[in-house]
Amino acid sequence: MKTKRTIIMLCLLGAALPAAAFDLGSVDWKKAAETVKKVQRANAEIDEPQEITLGDGIASNLLGAAPLLDNPAVQQYVNRIGRWLTLQTERPDLPWQFGVLDDNDVNAFAAPGGYVFITKGLLAQMNSEAELAGVLAHEISHVLRKHHLQAIKKGARAELLSDLANDAIRSNNADPRFTKLVSAGTEVYARGLDKKDEFEADRMGVVIAARGGYDPYGLPAVLQTLQSINPTDSNVALMFKTHPAIADRLSQLDREMPGYFANQENQPDLAPRFFQALGAGKK
Amino acid sequence: MKNVIAICLLFGLAPAAWAGGYAYTIRPTELKAKPFSDAQTLATLAPRVRVEVLGRQASWTQVKADTRSGWVKMLSLQLEKSGQSRRGDNGLGALFNVATTGKSGSTVTTGIRGLSEEQLKNSRPDPQALQAAKRYAVGRAEAQRYAEEGKLSAHSVGYMSGGQ
């Protein structure tokens, strides 16, 4: 039985093995067993406390790259909207934490365990609370579906994760292996998530915003605005590089949204509250 | 619009593209008298017609085509690319960064920190900033209170299948 399972695992490994491996006479079983063990560990689920610990580290690194906007009113506002949206999801009890980064770059980031950051550059492109909700809900979806963890696993450091994840995350932050894991997690922002994960986050994001009572067209409205930014503008370089073409994202939403949100057509966008909340932070 | 400008001044950024901008139709598009599918059709706009954007309501964008105003499906439009140089490249952003660095008392030189690909790869953790961020976390009750204040109510909507 055990051998049978091993063979199935080897078949799943497929590409990694030469065709000759299926001639059972020539298999190096010891090596195969080691490989299988590794794959099994790589596929091992990271549990929620581990996910949160890893997210803490990645969020700390992100804040090392860009500071928090020094504007408590704006920070509180974004947290209120974001937290409300998370209550409409399948993971309402994560320690959700939102933040606005003091950077002109137009971008947003999610980290495992419930972290969502948007830049003030992106915030300044928005025209209503529903648009903010749409963007936050897109990022929340990345956390819900653990897209970031999958990207780390798929990345160049997959081996590192499989070898170190469990031990490193259980130990404390001083462990150099944990630092490596966090670096790998931060590098995902430079590389981008899987394109299909971005499309999924768009699809889920508009639904989560609609569940929260908002006009579901906030996210496509922001995307449409971003599409109008000159692509040579350095502030959109990374966002454009790490995401599917905006035209493709909009046409996916255009295929699926009409009809689906017929009952949500009249939900509010709360534009006045958005401008008031951001203006109130003025010093 | 006044609010938009105030926020842009606050952040040192150029205003977003919505109101007052222009867009092109990307397909044959009905110009409706009101933002409803069964509203009166005023005209059918050909692809690549340039329209002035007046505002948005849910999936509808209010536009002015020639002399006629009406509503078209938002995703039948592509906003015109902004030609002028924007944030960061227009000097205002740089000015804002200098002011921020001074205000926060940070000794970090502008240029080392940032969200470019290289900067992200070389970032160092800032646990203090993480603690500061956590001070703004909002609990369930406060989130619900603020939603009620905005007259938001939760709805049950299933996820879209993604065409599967």
**pLDDT tens digits, one per residue of A106-159:** 999 999 999 999 999 999 999 999 999 999 999 999 999 999 988 887 775 555
Q: Tell me if B67 is assigned to some domain.
A: yes
Of B18, B56, B115, the CB nearest to A66: B115
**Contact: B16, A127; criterion CB under 8 Å:** yes
Q: Tell me if B11 is assigned to some domain.
A: no
DSSP 8-state assignment for residue B113:
B
Asked if A103 reaches chain B (Cβ–Cβ under 8 Å), the answer is: yes
Q: Which pTM value belongs to this model? A: 0.81
pLDDT above 60: residue A20: no
Q: Tell me if A165 is assigned to some domain.
A: no
Of A60, A98, A220, the CB nearest to B74: A220
| Together in a domain, A123 and A198 | yes
The CATH number given to whatever domain includes residue B27 is 2.30.30.40
| Together in a domain, A122 and A203 | yes
Residue B129 identity (one-letter amino acid): A
Q: Can you give the residue range of the structural domain that contains A105? A: 48-149+191-280
Question: A29 pLDDT band (50/70/90 cuts)?
Answer: low
Asked if A254 reaches chain B (Cβ–Cβ under 8 Å), the answer is: yes
| Together in a domain, A130 and A269 | yes
* Cα separation of the two ends of chain A: 70
**Contact: A199, B59; criterion CB under 8 Å:** no
Return the pLDDT at B83: 53
Q: Tell me if B110 is assigned to some domain.
A: no
Mean pLDDT value across residues B49-78: 94
Of B11, B73, B77, the CB nearest to A124: B11
Structural domains of chain A, count: 2
Quick one: how far is CA B25 from the chain centroid? 20
Asked if A197 reaches chain B (Cβ–Cβ under 8 Å), the answer is: no
CA of B65 vs chain A CAs: smallest distance (Å): 19
* Cα separation of the two ends of chain B: 42
**Contact: A217, B80; criterion CB under 8 Å:** no
Measure the CA–CA gap between B124 and B133, rounded to whole angstroms.
16
| Together in a domain, A27 and A137 | no
CA of A150 vs chain B CAs: smallest distance (Å): 19
Q: Which of A52, A58, A61, A63 to mutate to test the interface with B (most CBs of B within 10 A)?
A: A63
Question: B34 pLDDT band (50/70/90 cuts)?
Answer: very high
Structural domains of chain B, count: 1
| Together in a domain, A211 and A145 | yes
| Together in a domain, A11 and A79 | no
pLDDT above 50: residue A9: no
Q: Give residue-wise pLDDT tens across range A76-114.
A: 999 999 999 999 999 999 999 999 999 999 999 999 999
| Together in a domain, A65 and A123 | yes
| Together in a domain, A201 and A259 | yes
Taking a C-beta distance cutoff of 8 angstroms, is the pair A178, A50 a contact?
no
Q: Tell me if A168 is assigned to some domain.
A: no
**Contact: B152, A212; criterion CB under 8 Å:** yes
Q: Tell me if A161 is assigned to some domain.
A: no
Return the pLDDT at A94: 97
Asked if A240 reaches chain B (Cβ–Cβ under 8 Å), the answer is: no
| Together in a domain, A117 and A245 | yes
Q: For residue A225, which phi and psi values (nearest 5 degrees)? A: -65, -45
Q: Can you give the residue range of the structural domain that contains B66? A: 17-79
| Together in a domain, A105 and A68 | yes
| Together in a domain, A216 and A99 | yes
| Together in a domain, A84 and A33 | no
